Amino acid sequence: MSEPQSKKALTRRRLIQASAGAAAALGAAGLPVLQTSAPALGDKKITVEPLIPSQNRGIILYSVRDRISAAPDDSGVPYGFERVLARLAEIGYKEIEFAGYNQHTSILGRQITPEEIRKILDDNGLVANGTHTQIRADTFQQQLDIAETLGMKNIGTGSDPTNSAYQSDWDAAADLWNELGRQAKERGLRLYTHNHDVAYSFLLDSGPLDANGRPTASSGVRRLEYFFAKTDPKYVFFEFDIYWGYVARFKHKTYTNSRGQVRTDLFDPILNVANRTKRFPLFHAKDGDRAPEQANGHVMTPLGEGDINFQQFFEVIGEPEFHHANWEQDTAPGARPTPVSPSRSLSSATRTCPT
């Protein structure tokens, strides 16, 4: 199903025009990451509006997975759902995105239940805004049951709908996701998928064919952009990982067309969202420094310590009340490098909480 074209579709030129003034004002005012948009002068005082409202700012528990899964210890650092979620609420997070529902069985002498996790959320004034789980037809209704118990409005995965580069496999994935998305909507949830950089690599959809009859060339369409068009906007949604979007811009610049010609096409993370912004209820606010000598072109950093322009990103895509931003830092847990630092992930969560 094709997406309707917005009458106000952004171009790179319009993006620069729209964001230049806002970016200058943000820099001049010294305003914090994710906190504010362009200041407006009223009654001779500068007032600001949030880029992401405070109640829509959260954390994915993958960032503190070492402490969620930790056995009781004498480090003084919170462990397990009850203690870690209480600490995250104290820090200032309002929403939680799950990355599994298990903790160390020694805490309760058994595994915790979704009902018990829901009580911990409620007791701490936290809201579950999503999850990374397996999206499969044979277990989807059970996953919807858990999502409903936890009070989620979104259910998703940290994996692509298919790992294939071939159009036919993305067609099959779109058919499945349209159906599962319909089932989710019937129960009041949105189904979403989360990107890494490879989701924005180029689809193999053109000849010549290889020995197995598979395409070897590309028309220049990116995998997830094809999926946008093949899935129903009423049923299938997305969580944009901003860091991996910028890695995609660095890594996936060229494709070979059916004539054997190498073509260049730069991926634009902001325009990727801005022209279909209501299909992205969730984001991973993950930061990084440019490092062109590295394979990914970037190195992950704590939020606000890298050079990704989150102010520009959220200013341009608009719809702040609709969007939810979850802090993620894959490298925050302290198990590596040695020495082990049990407090590192929660210390990072404290330092980068966008409040």
Alpha-carbon gap, residue 355 to 57, rounded angstroms: 8
Number of H helices, E strands in the chain: 11, 16
Q: Give the tens place of pLDDT for each residue, 63-106.
A: 999 999 999 999 999 999 999 999 999 999 999 999 999 999 99
Under the banding of pLDDT at 50, 70 and 90, the label for residue 337 is low
Q: Give the tens place of pLDDT for each residue, 316-332.
A: 999 999 999 999 999 99
Percent of the chain scored above 90 by pLDDT?
A: 80
Domain count, the chain: 1
Establish if 270 belongs to a structural domain: yes
Of 184, 223, 227, the residue nearest 202 (C-alpha): 223
Q: How far is CA 34 from CA 31, 39, 292, 304, 311, in A?
A: 9, 14, 26, 9, 6
Percent of the chain scored above 70 by pLDDT?
A: 84
Q: Residue 304 corresponds to which tokens in the numbers above?
A: 């606000």
**H-only helix segments in 34-166:** 65-68, 80-91, 114-123, 140-150
Of 239, 227, 211, 125, the residue nearest 166 (C-alpha): 227
Establish if 213 belongs to a structural domain: yes
Whether residue 17 is predicted with pLDDT greater than 50 in this model: the reply is no
| Cβ-based burial of 109 (10 A; exposed 0-12, middle 13-18, buried ≥19) | exposed
Whether residue 355 is predicted with pLDDT greater than 90 in this model: the reply is no
What CATH number does the domain containing 328 carry?
A: 3.20.20.150
Establish if 138 belongs to a structural domain: yes
Whether residue 2 is predicted with pLDDT greater than 60 in this model: the reply is no
Q: Give the tens place of pLDDT for each residue, 271-318.
A: 999 989 999 999 999 999 999 999 999 999 999 899 999 989 999 999
The pTM assigned to this predicted structure is 0.88
Of 268, 181, 185, the residue nearest 227 (C-alpha): 181
Return the ∠ at Cα 207 (arms to 202 and 210), rounded to 5°: 95
Alpha-carbon gap, residue 110 to 297, rounded angstroms: 43
Under the banding of pLDDT at 50, 70 and 90, the label for residue 338 is low
Establish if 36 belongs to a structural domain: no
Establish if 37 belongs to a structural domain: no
| 232 alpha carbon, distance to own chain's centre | 20
Under the banding of pLDDT at 50, 70 and 90, the label for residue 161 is very high
Whether residue 265 is predicted with pLDDT greater than 80 in this model: the reply is yes
Q: Quick one: pLDDT at residue 18?
A: 43
Whether residue 140 is predicted with pLDDT greater than 80 in this model: the reply is yes
For residues 212-226, give the mean pLDDT: 97
Q: Residue 91 corresponds to which tokens in the numbers above?
A: 């820090």
Q: Give the tens place of pLDDT for each residue, 235-246.
A: 999 999 999 999
Whether residue 121 is predicted with pLDDT greater than 80 in this model: the reply is yes
Of 270, 228, 321, 220, the residue nearest 4 (C-alpha): 228
Q: What is the 8-class DSSP label of residue 241?
A: E
Q: Quick one: pLDDT at residue 266?
A: 96
Q: Quick one: pLDDT at residue 1?
A: 53
Q: Quick one: pLDDT at residue 9?
A: 52
Q: Tell me the residue range of the domain where 224 lies.
A: 53-352
Whether residue 41 is predicted with pLDDT greater than 50 in this model: the reply is no
Q: Give the tens place of pLDDT for each residue, 147-157.
A: 999 999 999 99
User: 289 — phi, psi (to 5°)?
Assistant: -100, 140
For residues 198-218, give the mean pLDDT: 97
Q: Which residue has the tokens 């004498």?
A: 74
Q: Residue 322 corresponds to which tokens in the numbers above?
A: 């609709």
Under the banding of pLDDT at 50, 70 and 90, the label for residue 3 is very low
Q: Quick one: pLDDT at residue 48?
A: 47
Alpha-carbon gap, residue 332 to 243, rounded angstroms: 15
Whether residue 39 is predicted with pLDDT greater than 70 in this model: the reply is no
Which one has a higher pLDDT value, 29 or 203? 203
Q: Quick one: pLDDT at residue 340?
A: 75
Establish if 153 belongs to a structural domain: yes
Establish if 57 belongs to a structural domain: yes
Contact status, residue 265 vs residue 220, Cβ threshold 8 Å: yes
Whether residue 40 is predicted with pLDDT greater than 60 in this model: the reply is no
Establish if 338 belongs to a structural domain: yes
Contact status, residue 333 vs residue 57, Cβ threshold 8 Å: no
